[in-house]
Every structure is written in C-alpha cells, then in structure tokens.
Structure 1
Amino acid sequence: MLGALLTAGCFAALHILSANGQIVVAHFMAQNAFSYSQSDWENDINTAKATGIDGFALNIALPDYEVDRVATAFVAAENANFKLFFSFDMSRSWQQSDIVSLVATHASSSAMLTYNGGVLVSTFAGQDNGNDFWAAIKTSLANQGIKVTFAPAFVSFRDPNQANNLLSSFPSIDGFFNWWSWPNDVNALLTTDTDIAYRNAAHSRGGPYIMSVSPWQFKDIDPNNAWVEQSDTLWNYRWLQAIQDVKPDIVEIVTWNDYAESHYIGPINPNVDLGSAAPNYVNGFPHDAWRTIAQHYISWYKTGKAPTVANDVVVFWYRRAHPKSVSCSGGWVPRMSDFPADAVFAVSLLSSPATISLDIGSTHAQFNAGVGATLGSVNFPSEDSQIPFIQIIRNGQTIKSGFGSVFVTRSCSWYNFNPFVGIIQ
C-alpha cells in the first residue's frame, strides 16, 4: 500500500510503502546503465514488479554519466509506481556536495523510497569517511527541508560483537544494511548471527534493518578478483532465514545486475559492457528462473504466510562449464574453488506432494517434495558431456519433465563457477 507523508519546508509530499514494513528491493548497479534508454529502465522495472520487488537500490559509483541515467530511471519509476533510493558506492571518491546535490534533486520524487519520514539513503562501504562526513550531509539536507533516514552498509562491520561499536562510532546512522549475504570464506552455511546483532542495533536507532539476500557469489576477472563462495543452496535457505528468523524491515536482493559477481537475477542486457573477462562466464548463463523462487518467498515474507502454489514447477541450477577439479585454458583458479559441490540443485514449488526425479548421466537421485518449496540435488556423473533430466512424478505418472539446456563437460576455456539456471514448468 502506498501512502503520502507530509514533511516540513520545501520537502513536499513523499510516498512510502506502508503495509507492514516488509519491503523488498534489489541492488541495481547504475554503472551498468551507460547504454540505458527509458525503455531499458521500464523493462527492468516491470520485470522486477512482476516478481514482487518494490524498488531498486541504485548503486552509484561516480557523479558522471550515472547521474543522467538515474534521472531517466526516476521518470520510469514514477510512471510505474516503483521505488528508488541511492546506495552510494564509497569504494569510489565522493564529495559531500555531490551526494547532497543528488539526493536533493530527487528527494521530492514520488518514486523516492522513504522510511520513518525520511528519504532513505544507503551505501556500499563508507565507514572510513567517519561520522562527521555523514553527519554533515544529513545537516546540509536538513537545511533544505529534507530529512534523511541513513542506513549504510559499512562493510567492515560484520562481526556480531562489533554492533555496539557501530552505534558508538556513528551517531549519525538511523539504520543499517548488512551487505554480507555469503559465508565468510568458509565451506559452511551462512548463519544469522550478524543479522540478529545488527538488526537489534538498527532498531535501537529506529531502523530500518536491511538484510541482504543473494543467490550466488563468483568472480573471475583478474588474479586478484577470482573467488567463489559456498553458494550451492544459498538462494533457498537465505530466504528462509529472512522469513523465519530475522524478519528484517527491508530485504535487499544482491543483486539485480552485478553480472561480474554472478549474483544477478535480472535479465542479461546484451547492451551492457561486461569488460573483457566477465563475458566468458556470464554470456549464456541466464538466472531468470531464480526469480520464480524469489516470487514465492517474497510473497511469504510480505504476508507472513507461505503462498499457495497454483502451477507445479522445478527451478534448477548447476555449473554447466566443468567439474571443479578440471583445469581450464583461460581465467584464474578462484579461491575456495573446492567448496561448491559438483551437483545439480533443484527447488520444487508444488501444489500437492510429488516425487522429484533428478538424473544426469548414470547418476540418479530423487526426493519426496511436499506442498510449497522443497530442495534436492543430484551429483555430477563420472561420464563426460552429460545433461540433467528432471521429472515431477505424482501417483506414478510423470506430470512434467525436461532437460537442462547445456551439458556438463570436462573441457573449458575459462574457469566458470557461475551456474546455469533453468526451469521445468
């Protein structure tokens, strides 16, 4: 539900998402919008809305062409009743005046996301700028009649025991965005310890607590930027952590379009310049079907009730390029490359119980799936050049079935731990 919020001074009517505070946004790399026209923004916004996403957090790296592109984004978002807010990428150098100017320019837009009566402003990093830097920005905007709700992702704050230090070091913050949505270089599932500690800290300031939810993490663009985190089942259990354990004010999907780090859930825009390395593991690796899982869990998060499934589907993903032990002719061996399992993973979304059958080569697995979402997997076979075959079987009858679109092979021209994502529907 959208409601109007009136504030003082020249800061006129703003619009907020006011239901139960359960807001879902996706992190959008504005750097990748160089070639964007308004129709590109419209396509992304409409696709996101159909998934249940309420807005984009615009990761803006420099006050350059991105300023013009996000101006177009605000026009498209206003027309679509969609929300936007700025997430300043502080790994780059920002002047206070540029941040103030950009926020002020769009503060009164009906597309601007507000929280607790203030324009929501976030970051990636920025802790090294110190509290005075951020306090001065808030003061400058307040002098223009613009209240800010500041919820940064100060990425050095990951240790749960440092949550109180965050509060004492940064009196200027109102909430917090926990960027860390992957295990910390360990072959283990991600816990919610960091989420709980920083959620409590954020709520002591009025919030919001923004929890990141991500499907994957892999990068291979140069020797210093080559890694893969343990992400095999992350897209399933991280959503459950948000819904059942953490209950954040805002879920931020990381990301919509950061192609180089392999955690995009948006369509791959062919006009985006991916550089020289990333195309080797991005092109031909769609993640669109992950949005089907997101749609299910977004509905659950917003309503507090697992949604009724009307159409039986199986969403599956696997590293199509090669098993992890294979040596490739290009790219760099990623750190933690021994963590991911050589397997096909699948989440069924069913209207009634069924058996999910997973085959690839001589390897077979099956699992009994109940109503709603159920996770299963099948290991890669010993044979080369094999492709998954997936079936939904109910009462002894195959209801739906299908193959993956690509083969798992033992030859590769680039180290690729980015999964192919498909769907049986």
Structure 2
Amino acid sequence: MLSALLLLAVPAAALPSRLDARAVSAASWTNRGCVQDGAARLLPTQLPDSNANTPDICVNACAAKGFRYAGVECESAAIAKLTADGRQCHCGNSLNPALGGKSSACTSPCAGNAGLKCGGAWAMNLYENPSAAGPKPVGCYADSASRVLPTRGANTNRVATCIADCKGRGQAYAGLENGSECWCGGSLPATTAPAAKCSVNCADGPCGGFWALSVYATGATAGPSTPVSSNAAAAAVVGAPNPAGGGGAKAVYAHFMVGNTYSYTGGDWTSNINAAKAAGLDGFALNLGTEDWQRARTKDAYTAAAAAGFKLFLSLDLNALPCASAADATTLAGYVAANARSPAQATRGGKVLVSTFAGQQCTFGQGSLDAGWAFFRTRVAAAGVNMFFVPAPFVDANSIGKRAWLDGAFNWNGAWPATGADLTTASDNTYLNSLGSKTYMAAVSPFFFTYYGPPPKQPGWNKNWLYRSDNWLLATRFEQLLSLRGRCDLLQLVSWNDYGESHYVGAIGKDVAFSGGWTTGFPHTALLSLVKYYAQAFRTGAYPQPQDKLWLWSRPHPRAATPTNPTNARPQHWDWTDDNLYVVVTLASPASVVINAGGNTATWNLPAGLSKLRIASAPGAIGARIVRGGKDAKSYNSNGQFSYTNTPKDYNYNYFVAEA
C-alpha cells in the first residue's frame, strides 16, 4: 500500500499511546466486520501509522476528530516484513462506494496488541459510531421465489445505495439480501422473521441473509401499483438504478465488422457514422480481418470519420489475422500505424487506442504468449506509435491484470450469459479485481443467435447456437454497467453490423455474410434511441429527461417449435431462452401502459421514468400503448410487419425490434 510507504517516517502523535477511562472504545461502536479496502481507500482520512495501534486506539482517535467511521488495517505485505503489522488507522464520514465488500483477510495482529486483529493487506476491520449510524432496518423478512419485494434493484453491498435506488423507483421499501442483492417494493408481509436470519452485515448496516431480507423504509410514499389485467405470468421491473459516480472520462463505442463492408462507398461510411453519432456513440471499434480490401475500407472509414468528428480504433481480429511469426507482428504493427495519425483516431491518455478480438494463441515467434505480445509492442513503437492496448484475449481473467504488455482488457464474453440463467456482473468483477488500476472495457449487447451450417453448406462456418438474450438484455446489461460506472470507463456495444450473430443495431446493409435467412425482415435500428438513453447516463452520470417512448422486441416462434423446412439442425442452447414479448417504456409523466402479444394482454399503471415489461408470447401481432387521460399518447402495432407463429418454416431465434 503506497500510502503506508509514504507515512512510515511520520511521527505517530495523532494516535494516543494508550486509553484513559474517558476514552471511546471499539466495543461502544458497531463492528461492521472485515471489509475490502483498496488504493482508492474505503475511508478518506488516514492517520499516521502507530506501533500502539489497536481498534480501541483507532476508534478513540477517529471519535475525537468527529468521524463516523474508523478502520484498522495492516501494512502492505512488503512493508509488513520489515515492521509490525496492524499499524494503520483510517477515519471518515462516508464510505467509498467502489469498496467495502466482505473480506476474510483480516488476519494480521495489531501493532499495539498482538492478541487482537487489525485488518490485513487491503482488508479493514471497520467500526461505526452508533449515534451517527445510518438508517435502521424495519425488520428481517423471510424471502422466497415469489419475492417479498418484487422489483430487483442493482446489485450492491451498500444499504444506502439500495435505499436510494428503491426510492428513485418510487418504492416505499428497500431490502438487502445475502449481502449483495437489492430488492424494492411498496408493501410488507404482516410477519417478520427472527433477526438471526439476517446475519450478513454490509459496511453500513445489516443486509439480510440466505433467503432473508433486511428491509428499510426509503422515505418515499408507496409507489404506484402495477396490476396485471390478464396473464399472471406477465412481469414488470419499475425504475432504473442511479448511475454510480467516479472514475475517469467515459466513452461508448460499437464493434464494427469491416468484413461486412465490401461494397461500401464513402457515403455508406458517412451514413453509418451519422446514425451512430445520433445514437450517442463516441466511435467504432473496427474489426479488421485479412483481406486487402478491408484495409482499403478502413482507410475510407477514417476519412469519413475525420470529416464527421467521430472516433475509430482498430480491433485486430486474431481469429483471422496470423500472429505466429515475428513478421506477423511487424505486419500488424503496420496496420496500427496506417491511420494512427488521423484526427479520427481514438486515444486514451494521449495514446493510440488499439484492441483485439482473441489473441490468446499469439506468440509472434517468441515462444510464449507474454513474450510474443511484448515483442508486438516493440514493433508498434518502432512504427512510431505510442499505443494504449486494451485487447480481448480469451485467457484466465483472474490473472489478466498481471500481464505487463496490456494497458487494460476488453471482456468480450461479458455481454451474454454462458448458461441458461440471466447475466450477472460476476465476470466484470473478476476482470476489475484482476486489472486493478488498469483500464476495463466492458461489453454490452442486445442479442446473440447464429445459424450457419456445417460444411459443405455455404459458407460452412458451422456456427449454430444462441446465448440467452432474455429479460431485456440490452437494458439490463446497461444498468449493470451503470452500477459499475465508478470503476469502468469504456463500453463496447457488440455490435453495429455483425449480422451473422444477430446482435447488430445498425441498418442491415448489402453485405450480410450469408445471414439473410435470419436477418431479413428483422430490423434492430429501433434500439438506437434506447442505446442513446443509456449511453448518456453512462457518459454523464445522469439519465436524460424521460419522454414518452416504447421499445418492443420478440422472437418469431416458440423455442421448441418444429419448423416445416429447416435449413440446419435445431440450434444449440435453444432451451436457454424463454417465449416472451419484451417492452421497455419511458414516461414523461405517470400513465397506464398496455402491451399485447397476440391475444395475451397486460396493463400496468406506471410512474414517470423507465420501466421494463414482459408478457408471454402468443400467435399474432405484437403491440403496446401509453394511455394517459383516456387517450393513447403513443402506440405501436406490428400488423403487416411482424407476426409470431407456432409453425415456422425454419428456425430463427433472432428478434424483431420496433419502437413507438
């Protein structure tokens, strides 16, 4: 810990050497347990290190200065070898929201009493003044799959964050479960559970247990009811979590397949760039493959982007580009250098931003992955480029931060769940914990379905699977990353134009890579205005003022349907998806929202702001209406454009997207 190194020479006069009878003791404060600290510091004020340090000494010193929190901690592992452990005392009136999770590393003895524990390396025994403590729970409640509080908030290990989240959703109660789950609602059961069930403590208060909720009043009046008028399977998530603060300059890019631009002219590039700018994107990550014409199209892209004030950077596609020899490193460095001085080149800290897709197999003739990529950096430098390298190699995320040749990492597979369950931020946290102070680029995506057959079918890529894209994946994923905004500065939307994997948000062009069978008639451009809503929140830390808008998306047939004339076998993971119509709505003021999937209909009374709705799919058209004062403020019906059917001709797990 650098701060410990700097303070070793400072006299320890700020800490008393012993306590008198009038002193405040640790036993008189609330013990919040062992929690995570970090370089950004959980508590902002560090007192000079002391060989007399104990929890009592530290709490007394922080109390004398009027602080709410006190924490004891040891030196870094390196310094601990040279001097006594447990010498640090930290104070503060608030907790850094990026830190404070549970830790089991508080094993170091205190410098002033070896029989007591004073934290560990980046671990703190935390104490809180009970007279200055935050809100108290109204009770402990047993939870179940049917949920005491029905609305899921953003994952957090902060009571205050969960309360603010639920209050922002207009809900009267906030509940913490299992130390990390936040739930919101407007009413509570009549019976509480034994307090012992809520045995988990967060840094700023009790936060539930296994199937147990520590419930707090938010101070908001009871939120609007959300009655379902028909179809009990319909569901709603009302409100969106507030973006976290902190971190550095933010940017949102979209992955762009240069391989799908063979017929592009300069005008095509300008059209796509203007659409991306209108959607609030900062630039494109240009996925570059092997063909010479791709480099020609890339040059055209930089020319168009420079004229439009738009940014670009290369994403070297190492599933296609060779990277086995030293000559390959020189070739790739030349690709990086070709447009690096363009005014359209994206930079980070004044350095040329470069990324990859894959690269875990690259050695560039140097005998190992790490040696190979270190050699590649020397070739880029020799080409006159000062590079900021944020690749996406598929290596162990727990160790990726130890690789000296990268300045950060892009978590490509973080955009979709790799199972039949909904996506969480687990992989994000693994990357963030491994990278430390290095840059994290997170992935966000709306869908994933690819339906290429095996050889000899054209093109013979044998990619035939889906990833679960349910429960408003695009919106839910953006909201997850907004909760990590203080630690994550770069987002990459996957993708702008990868039609083959169905996660495109740009207009479907002429070069569709043999994917017309599942993309024709399935536009996604309606998502661009929703992307803009979340991109602004990520970039600025605040959502735009909501307007009346509706976004709808649906697959065209049930997951278990049997087509009459299938092109390929049933896609892998077909059972990872559910048969629902998904709707996202933003309201300028409270209104009723009615959605329908065929004959299934549901109605909610919703507050201003954003809500996410779903209903089971059924044959027929899809539609939605915003009703205020007995009149439709906005409406959409897919008649003539899209119809859900139980008897398709071919498999298609792509989504039709529309907006009102």
TM superposition score category, shorter chain reference:
0.7 to 0.9
CA contact (8 A) 1:107 1:119 kept: yes
1:260 matches 2:500: yes
Which whole-Å deviations, capped at 9, do the CAs of 1:84-139 have from their partners, x for residues lacking one?
A: 00101111232212211111111111111111231111101101211222212211
Which one scores higher on RCO, CA 8 angstroms, separation ≥ 6?
1
The answer for the alignment partner of 2:631 in structure 1 is 397
The letter for the 2-side match of 1:391 is: R
**Could you tell me whether the CA contact under 8 Å between 1:366 and 1:376 is conserved in 2?**
no
* Residue 283 (1) aligns with residue 520 (2): yes
How far the C-alpha of 1:203 sits from its partner, in A, is 4.1
Residue number in structure 1 paired with 2:449:
218
- Report the 3-state secondary structure (helix = DSSP H, G, I; strand = E; otherwise coil) of the residue aligned with 2:562: coil
User: Could you tell me how far apart the structure 2 residues matched to 1:122 and 1:225 are?
Assistant: 24
Q: Which residue of 2 aligns with 1:422?
A: 658
> Which 10-residue stretch deviates more, 53-62 or 132-141?
132-141
SS at match of 1:180: helix
State the partner residue of 2:491.
Answer: 251
In 2: Cα distance, 1:244 partner to 1:167 partner = 22
Tell me the secondary structure at the aligned position of residue 344 of structure 2: coil
Indicate the residue corresponding to 1:324 in structure 2: 559
Task: Say if 1:182 and 1:229, in contact at 8 Å, map to a contact too.
Answer: no
Aligned equivalent of 1:196:
429
The answer for the alignment partner of 2:469 in structure 1 is 231
**SS class of match (1:79):** helix
Aligned mates of 1:198, 1:339 — CA distance in 2: 25
Aligned mates of 1:273, 1:231 — CA distance in 2: 21
Greater Cα offset, 363-372 or 61-70: 363-372
Is it true that 1:353 corresponds to 2:593 in the alignment? no
Instruction: Name the CA distance, whole Å, in 1 between partners of 2:476 and 2:361.
Output: 32
1:273 deviation in Å?
4.1
- TM-score, normalisation: structure 1: 0.88
Q: Deviations over 1:148-200 (max 9, x none)?
A: 1111111243xxxx42x2233x3201100000134443121111121122124
- Asked if 1:38 is matched to 2:38, the reply is no
The aligned amino acid for 1:418 is N
User: CA–CA distance in 2 between the matches of 1:292 and 1:373?
Assistant: 13
- Conserved in 2, the CA contact under 8 Å of 1:354 and 1:392? yes
Q: CA deviation at 1:413?
A: 2.2
Does 2:517 align with 1:295?
no
Identity of aligned residues (%): 34
Picking from 321, 330, 333, the partner of 1:97 is: 330
Unaligned runs of 5+ in 1: 1-18
- State whether residues 363 and 380 of structure 1, in contact with CA within 8 Å, keep that contact through their aligned partners in structure 2: yes
Give me the whole-angstrom Cα distance separating, in 2, the residues matched to 1:217 and 1:273. 16
Q: CA deviation at 1:143?
A: 2.8
- Whichever residue aligns with residue 559 of structure 2, its letter is K
Report the Cα distance in structure 1 between the residues aligned to 2:598 and 2:311, rounded to whole angstroms.
46
Deviations 1:244-293, CA, capped at 9 Å, x for gaps: 23542111000000001010000101x21422xx2110011000111111
Q: Alignment length, in residue pairs?
A: 390
Match of 1:110?
343
Question: Over aligned residue pairs, what C-alpha RMSD do you find?
Answer: 1.7
- What does the per-residue CA deviation read over 1:380-403, in whole Å, with 9 as the maximum and x for residues that have no partner? 23xx4x111311112333222220
Aligned to 2:277: 49
Name the SS for the 2:610 alignment partner. Answer: strand
Contact 1:61 1:88 in 2 (8 A): yes
Asked if the contact 2:414–2:427 (Cα under 8 Å) also holds between the matched residues in 1, the reply is: no
Between 1:180-189 and 1:333-342, the stretch displaced more is: 180-189
Q: Which one of 368, 387, 390 corresponds to residue 605 of structure 2?
A: 368
Q: 1:408: Cα distance to partner?
A: 0.7
Check conservation: 1:345, 1:377, Cα contact below 8 A.
yes
Contact 2:478-2:534 within 8 A present in 1 as well: yes
- Compute the displacement of 1:55 (Å): 0.5
Matching residue of 1:120: 353
Matched position secondary structure for 1:338: helix
Contact 2:507 2:525 in 1 (8 A): yes
Amino acid at match of 2:632: T
Distance apart, 1:354 and its partner CA? 1.4
- Kindly name which structure, 1 or 2, has the bigger radius of gyration based on alpha carbons: 2
Q: Structure 2: any 5+ residue segments left out of the alignment?
A: 1-246, 323-327, 363-368, 455-461
